Amino acid sequence: MAETAGTPYDLVILGGGSGGYACAFRASLLGMRVALIDKDKLGGTCLHRGCIPTKALLHAAEVADQSRESLHFGVKTSFDGIDMAAVNAYKDSIVAKKYKGLQGLAKARRVDFIEGAGRLVGPTAIEVNGKRYEGRHIVLATGSAPKSLPGLTIDGERIISSDHALTLDYVPNSVVVLGGGVIGVEFASVWRSFGADVTIIEALPHLVPTEDEDSSKLLERAFRRRGIAFEVGARFAGVESTENGVRVSTENGKQFDAELLLVAVGRGPVSDDLGFADAGIELERGFVKVDQYCQTNVPTVSAIGDLIPTLQLAHVGFGEGYLVAERLGGLNPAPIDYDGVPRVTFCEPEVASMGLTEVAAKERYGADGVVTYTFNLAGNAKSEILHTSGAVKVVRQKDGPVVGIHMVGSRVGELVSEAQLIYNWEAHPGDVAQLIHMHPTQGEALGEAHLALAGKPLHALS
């Protein structure tokens, strides 16, 4: 029988990733005694195997591209190749620094971090390493892991997941990327910049298929210019080993040879064998079912992050963690508007979005109830200076507020914060048009699009 570990906590959190530690930190600030349990390092997937290391690789890729293209800007440089040992050292140093800082924050917030594989053993208890940790409330934040397809075994050698891709100590000569979503296109972008031949296979009709279709088309055009091949509307049929790597087949009869196959078909919730069902928690396809306040059907248990069927984004985990902590702290927080969460794919060029796609807006407000405007970055001086192309597309409710903003181009992810304010404050195009945007910046492109929608275009035809 498990030993009970001391005085009960106000909150016991299973999972120390983005959602778990955000919940722990906020709860501690609200005066709660908190235990945070994880079998791995504090920070979870985002810090150690996701957002942070991936974006470090993407920045190294950007430097590689700039060194190749420097003559376009009148700067003479030479590109001598990629030193993956040095790239990985740079990446790992960033992760280590952020990890150390996070550990310091946990200590400063007086959060008890308990290392070990936890299991839910009741509506108010988690068992770890033979000890039972009781809490007034339990938060499940066990995150997600890379998925595969039926019959497709990830061996970590020739058929790899994103976890393996982050630790490669060489640049592959060629890669097939199975999946054209965020993870797939980001790694495709990195490897192409590093010099690999890359082919993406996506079952749906476009790359980044959850984005506005115009954004998908702009990214596809840019990838063609970069020499990134892709097959869309192509379903995976099988893979076999070859002398030099793998041969991937699709249901349309095509075959693709490469050194590696990256399986990037999404991430699934980590919920098996953790006692959730035994404790009466309702699940659906492995996800924990929750209400708009992230509370499960068991009143003393909440769930957040990739474990629940919301957007699988680190900042969503932060928001859900805060939501639960503040609800338990009696602050009556508002539910999260998931349409109001910013989304960025950090490939080259970047794809950033807020709110509804044009299709979704027309489904909600009717085909005649939506007006759109697209401002081409060719009309933006800073984008010309950066030598990037793309567009800013604004979707508004007819005679009403802006309900969607969609952007493609180098560095447009930095514009999503203003886009977030425009959407979440239900601004009308005229509200934004009266603001004077700094010149020359890419932010002007947002201003120009709203000027045009307000009927007073500057550097664009109406």
Q: Which residues are catalytically annotated?
A: 439
Contact assessment for residue 301 and residue 281, using Cβ atoms and an 8 Å cutoff? yes
Q: Are strands 118-122 and 125-128 parallel, antiparallel or unpaired?
A: antiparallel
What is the CB neighbour count within 10 angstroms for residue 122? 17
- Quick one: tokens of 388? 């990037």
What element of type H or E holds 213?
helix 213-226
Q: How many Å is the Cα radius of gyration of the chain? A: 24
- The residue with tokens 């060194």 is 67
Contact assessment for residue 393 and residue 406, using Cβ atoms and an 8 Å cutoff? yes
| Cα distances (Å, whole numbers) of residue 46 to 2, 42, 175, 205 | 32, 10, 24, 29
Give the strand order in the sheet containing 343-345.
343-345, 350-355, 402-409, 391-397, 370-376
Contact assessment for residue 406 and residue 381, using Cβ atoms and an 8 Å cutoff? no
**Distance from C-alpha of 268 to C-alpha of 254, rounded to nearest angstrom:** 28
Contact assessment for residue 444 and residue 384, using Cβ atoms and an 8 Å cutoff? no
Q: Which residues pair with 134 in a beta bridge?
A: 125
What is the CB neighbour count within 10 angstroms for residue 255? 12
Q: Which residues pair with 404 in a beta bridge?
A: 355, 395
How many separate helices (H) and strands (E) can be counted in the chain? 13, 25
Contact assessment for residue 414 and residue 434, using Cβ atoms and an 8 Å cutoff? no
Q: What is the DSSP string of 95-164?
A: HHHHHHHHHHHHHHTT-EEEES-EEEEETTEEEETTEEEEEEEEEE---EEE---TT----SSSEE-HHH
Q: Which string of b and e fits 68-107 if b means at least 16 CB within 10 Å?
A: eeeeeeeeeeeeeebebeebbeebeeebeeebeebeeebe
Coil, strand or helix at 201:
strand
